[in-house]
Structure formats: C-alpha cells, structure tokens
A and B are shown apart, each in its own frame.
Chain A
Amino acid sequence: MTHEFKTVRIKIYPEKCIGAGHCVGCAPDIFSQNEDDGVVILLKDDPPPDRYESAKAAARLCPTSAIEIIEQ
C-alpha cells in the first residue's frame, strides 16, 4: 500500500461550518448536511482506504477548516 499503513480518521467542527457543502460534493458517502441549516454531518469517521483521497479533498476545499483529517 502507498498509504504507509496509515489509517485516516475524520473529525468535524460543526460550529465552524458555513454549510458550503463541498464535503458532500466530494464524498457523499462520508459527509451529509443538516436539512435545516446545511451544517455538516459526519456519516463515517473511518472511511475505507479507497475513500481517503476524497475525504482529504473535502477537508482541503472546506473554506472554514471544519473538517480535520487525522492520519494514524
């Protein structure tokens, strides 16, 4: 594996979220949005390795750093 045996965990900070929805665009299987205010909901904090890149893209595109990728 090219991931150097690291696993990815995802942490969200809903209080920072502005509901831009980039995360859902990148990875609808990992993130969702609250229907009332668009705030991020984490569906899966331990994505499978083939979803790491999408999870990282979501974190990178988030304009308010409301998503943290933790590599362990």
Chain B
Amino acid sequence: MDSQSPEAMPVFPLPRTGSPLDPPAEYDRFRAEGALKKVNMWDGRQAWLVTRRDDVRAVLASPHFSADPTKPGYPFLTPARAATVKSYQTFITMDPPDHTRFRRMLTKDFTQKRMEELRPRVQTLVDRMIDDLLSGEPPGDLVQALALRLPVTVISLLAGVPLADDAKLVRWSNQRLDLSVDAETSESAGKNMLEYFDELLKSREEEPGDGADMLGRLVIEQIRPGHLDRKGAVHMINLLYFAGHETTANQIGLGVLHFLMNPGQRQKLVASPELVKNAVEEMLRYDTPPHYNACRVATTDVTIGGETIRAGEGVYALLSAANRDPDAFDDPARFDIERENASDQLAFSYGLHQCIGQPLARLELHTVFSTLFRRVPSLTLAIPFEQIQFKRDFYVYGLQALPVSW
C-alpha cells in the first residue's frame, strides 16, 4: 500500500454517492481490499482509514494512539477543525491520566442509577412534545418538534442551562458542526458559546444552588475545592451541551425515518415493545451519526490488521465503516431490529473515550421509540424520500428536517 503514490490516493472525507442512508461505498471497497487504506487530507497530508470492525476496536483500545490534537501528525478533518487546536482542550481530546481525572468529574451524572431516576421525567417530556406536535395541523417537522427538542431540553435541564437560550445555542452549535462554513464562522460560533457559558458559570459561582444540576455541582464539588478552574468548567459544560444534543437529535430523526420507510419493522416494534432496546442498537449501528469519528494519531510504531502505522501518522478509525463490516454484521445494509448482535455496534466509540453520555442517549432513544409509534399510529412521511434534506456537510450526520403527517 505504501507504494501507492499520494496522487492516486482518495481524498478524505469522501462524499456519500449512493443512498444517503449508507456510508460512502468506497468504505466497502477499502475494507475488502486490505486492512487499512491511506488517504489524502485537505492539507496535503495523509492519514490511514480503518474500516474493519476488529481493527477499529483494536485502534480505539490501544494505548499507542493519542486523541490529543496538539500531538504532531493529528489528522484534522477540515481547516475549521484544525483551528480548534488553539482552543483549550477537554477530556475528549486528552490522554490518560488527565483524561481520567477530568472525565470522572462528570461520570456520576451518567450512572445507570441516575438514568433510572430520570426515566419518568424523560417520558413526561416525550409525551408532552408529542401532544404539542399533534395539537398542530399536519404536516409538522419531527426534527424541531421532538428529535432536536428532546435532547436539547434534557441536557439543558440536567446541566442547568436556561431553556430560553436554546435557540441561539443550537444555532451556534450547528455552525460549529457545519463543515461547509469557513473557519472564521465556525470559530466565532465556538467563541460565542464559550462566552455564553462563561457568563452563566460566573452567575452560578455566586449562586450554585443545592447541587441539583451539573453546573451547580461543578461549582461546589470541583471549582471551589480547586480541582477545576473556571475555564476548564466552561469548556466542559460547552462540550456536554453540544455533544449532549447533536448526536441524539440526529439519531432520533434518522431512526424515525427508518420506521416510516419500513412498515414491517414498525409493526414488529409496536407489537413487541420489548424489542425497543435492540431496535435502538440497530439504528445506532445502521446510522452512526458521528460518521467521521474516531480520529487518532499513533504515538509509536504500531501494527493494526497486519499493517504498520508509524509514530506520528494519523488514523481515522471509522465507526460508521466498522458498523457496516460484513464480517461482523450479516447483510450489514439491512435494517433489522431483531439483529442478534446489534449491540456489538460501535456508534458510541470504544475504549476509554467511549461517549460519556451514551446512557443518557440510550434513555432518550428508548423513550422516544417505545412511545412515538404507539401514540401516533398514523404517522407518515409528508414528502417523498427523495426530497428529504440530509446533513451532508456536517460533522454529525442526520436530517435537516423530517416533515411528517398523521
């Protein structure tokens, strides 16, 4: 593979040229041809694409790869992503031991016990949002009414972010994830978010409350005893807010679309509500909204799938490709909520950087998909599939809107 000249290498990221529901078809070709594939990046550098599930797991479990973008050779997806390296880093771009120390400041908010406590509140929110949708005249946009609104509301309540500010926060967050905007727009959106959270935290440092939300708890448990400075806390809450809604919102939209397009699967889900957990694993496998994750750089020479990756070489361990690996999942392009090993999917990544919010995302997804089709049996797509707008240029994949009737 090294003999291949850089001019002949494909350019990453690759467009989705087939169905908008499938990752780029080249992933299947690369996977079939060899373990790893070298690609050109926008800055003229090369990176390795990893597309087999076992190899993706091996990269993400290996201590010989770093998630730290300040390390030489880290392969940035776009100029806007490269610009973020100047910013303060949070635990998702740290390696141990710093990663462990900062991440553990937040894990208590995502334990299984906390999720069980939250479950009735999430159910109430889902029911209320469906009531609101049904109280309007069809068609309605399911993305605005539920897919985006639910995770934004939940993370705002948990974090202690005033719900009245969600419109501007969502707008900034979108600008940060839109790969088609210039670095300046993305940077300025990121700056606006940080300034907003800095102001919010300042007010909470004076009145942290009784520790009922994450901001208050960060003030009481981490900032006041000196474990975390304000800047660190601001970046942490910024990360939680934006990671806490973008991914789940996109998965809800895509998941609803699958059931609207697959009446047989929808019937099964409604008839057998106990299938919901597996159905959610299957949609995560099928869609993998963070379709450009996960990015790493080798810190020493390391062998993956029989190929040597040199120290300082960048790697994309593609979760979206791993989840469509035919050696791991039979007939991977088929959406099947009864797939036996759907929970082997890697949409939340693997290794020590696996999504901290995945228990919350699962809680929201389980609640939506055990409720929506039961409550609205007449739900249908309001436009032809061909007219649906996908977020093609976004760091997180999904739908711009999902017009539905009932």
Measuring CB to CB, which residues of chain A are less than 8 angstroms from any residue of chain B? 16, 18-21, 24-25, 28, 33, 35-39, 60-61, 63-65
- State the Cβ distance, B353 to closest chain A Cβ, in Å: 8
How many angstroms between the C-alpha atoms of A46 and B205 in the bound complex?
A: 47
- State the Cβ distance, A22 to closest chain B Cβ, in Å: 9
Which residue of the partner chain, among B108, B115, B358, contacts A35 with CB atoms under 8 Å?
A: B108
Q: Is B196 an interface residue (CB 8 A)?
A: no
- Establish whether residues A18 and B354, one from each chain, have CB atoms under 8 Å apart when the complex forms: yes
The contact string, 1 if C-beta is below 8 Å from chain A, for chain B 342-353, is 011000011110
Q: Other than the known A21-B359, A64-B354, what 16 A-B pairs have Cβ atoms closer than 8 Å? A: A19-B103, A20-B358, A24-B112, A25-B112, A28-B112, A35-B111, A35-B113, A37-B108, A38-B107, A38-B108, A38-B111, A39-B107, A61-B343, A63-B349, A63-B351, A64-B61
Which residue of the partner chain, among B100, B108, B354, contacts A36 with CB atoms under 8 Å?
A: B108
How many angstroms between the C-alpha atoms of A24 and B111 in the bound complex?
A: 9
| Chain A residues within an 8 Å CB radius of B100 | 18
- State the Cβ distance, B355 to closest chain A Cβ, in Å: 8
- Establish whether residues B112 and A63, one from each chain, have CB atoms under 8 Å apart when the complex forms: no
Interface centre among A20, A25, A33 (most CB of B within 10 A): A20
- State the Cβ distance, A26 to closest chain B Cβ, in Å: 10
Q: Is B224 an interface residue (CB 8 A)?
A: no
| Chain A residues within an 8 Å CB radius of B352 | 16, 18, 63-64
B interface, by DSSP: helix, strand, loop or mixed?
Answer: helix
B355 and chain A: residue at smallest CB distance: A20
Interface centre among B61, B100, B112 (most CB of A within 10 A): B112
How many angstroms between the C-alpha atoms of A18 and B349 in the bound complex?
A: 13
Q: A21-B359, A37-B104, A38-B104 are in contact. Are A63 and B354 (CB under 8 A)?
A: yes
A63 and chain B: residue at smallest CB distance: B354
- State the Cβ distance, A15 to closest chain B Cβ, in Å: 9
Q: Is B110 an interface residue (CB 8 A)?
A: yes
- Establish whether residues A33 and B351, one from each chain, have CB atoms under 8 Å apart when the complex forms: no
Which residue of the partner chain, among B104, B112, B351, contacts A21 with CB atoms under 8 Å?
A: B112
* Nearest 5 A/B pairs, CB to CB: A38-B107, A19-B107, A63-B354, A24-B112, A37-B104
- Establish whether residues B354 and A19, one from each chain, have CB atoms under 8 Å apart when the complex forms: no
B358 and chain A: residue at smallest CB distance: A20
- State the Cβ distance, B9 to closest chain A Cβ, in Å: 31
The contact string, 1 if C-beta is below 8 Å from chain A, for chain B 86-119, is 0000000000000010011001101111010000
Q: A24-B112, A25-B112, A65-B61 are in contact. Are A37 and B107 (CB under 8 A)?
A: yes
| Chain B residues within an 8 Å CB radius of A24 | 111-113
Q: A18-B103, A21-B359 are in contact. Are A33 and B354 (CB under 8 A)?
A: no
The contact string, 1 if C-beta is below 8 Å from chain A, for chain B 333-348, is 0000000000110000
Interface centre among A21, A36, A61, A64 (most CB of B within 10 A): A21
| Chain A residues within an 8 Å CB radius of B358 | 20
Which residue of the partner chain, among A33, A63, A65, contacts B111 with CB atoms under 8 Å?
A: A33
| Chain B residues within an 8 Å CB radius of A64 | 61, 351-352, 354
| Chain B residues within an 8 Å CB radius of A18 | 100, 103, 107, 352, 354, 356
How many angstroms between the C-alpha atoms of A39 and B343 in the bound complex?
A: 22
- Establish whether residues B351 and A19, one from each chain, have CB atoms under 8 Å apart when the complex forms: no
- State the Cβ distance, A59 to closest chain B Cβ, in Å: 13
- State the Cβ distance, B198 to closest chain A Cβ, in Å: 26
Which residue of the partner chain, among B103, B110, B350, B359, contacts A63 with CB atoms under 8 Å?
A: B350
How many angstroms between the C-alpha atoms of A65 and B296 in the bound complex?
A: 20
| Chain B residues within an 8 Å CB radius of A35 | 108, 111, 113
How many angstroms between the C-alpha atoms of A1 and B74 in the bound complex?
A: 52
Per the 8 Å Cβ criterion, residues 35-51 of B in contact with A are none
- Establish whether residues A33 and B112, one from each chain, have CB atoms under 8 Å apart when the complex forms: yes
- Establish whether residues A19 and B61, one from each chain, have CB atoms under 8 Å apart when the complex forms: no
Interface centre among A16, A19, A24, A25 (most CB of B within 10 A): A19
